[in-house]
Amino acid sequence: MIKEAEIRTFVRGVTHYFETSTQQAASVGSPYLVTDGKPGAYDYTGIIGISGAREGVVYFTAPRGMLTVLLMRMQETDTSDANIMDLVGEVANTISGNARRDFGKQFSISVPTVVAHDAEKVTTPHVRSFVIPINWRTHSAKLVVCLE
């Protein structure tokens, strides 16, 4: 089961990502444990597999509108599907990479897998998931942490 301090590591990773990439803070809602069903997903999801001392997945999921504005804030004018998919994978990878610094070398992360327009394909291991709600400007996204 994931510890509160570990959740805080991911919360810091989210806030740091938005502050450095967009120069605009994201607010993070209260993390919660999914007790029933799946954590769910938006239009685009970047999934990172975790292995080593911990096993599971971490994923960042967001609607197209948020990712489009995020690209524009980063001075990127190409808001094609391919670029949005690259971005959602990069966000997941960056946040997981930052967590790896706290967790150490025994926390191995995979390259991101990106799922677009098919929330049913976003699956988690049979471990309870924590959802970290993210609000940035008028948009909502979430980081899901599912570790054994």
- pTM confidence score: 0.94
SS3 146: strand
pLDDT digits (tens, 9 = 90+) for 87-126: 999 999 999 988 888 888 888 999 999 999 998 899 888 8
Q: Which of 112, 105, 132 is nearest to 18 (CA)?
A: 132
CATH number at residue 132: 3.40.1550.10
Q: Which helix (H) or strand (E) holds 109?
A: strand 107-109
Number of domains in the chain: 1
CA distance 70 to 133: 17
Among residues 140, 125, 129, the alpha carbon closest in space to that of 10 is found at 129
Q: Residue 139 belongs to what domain range? A: 4-147
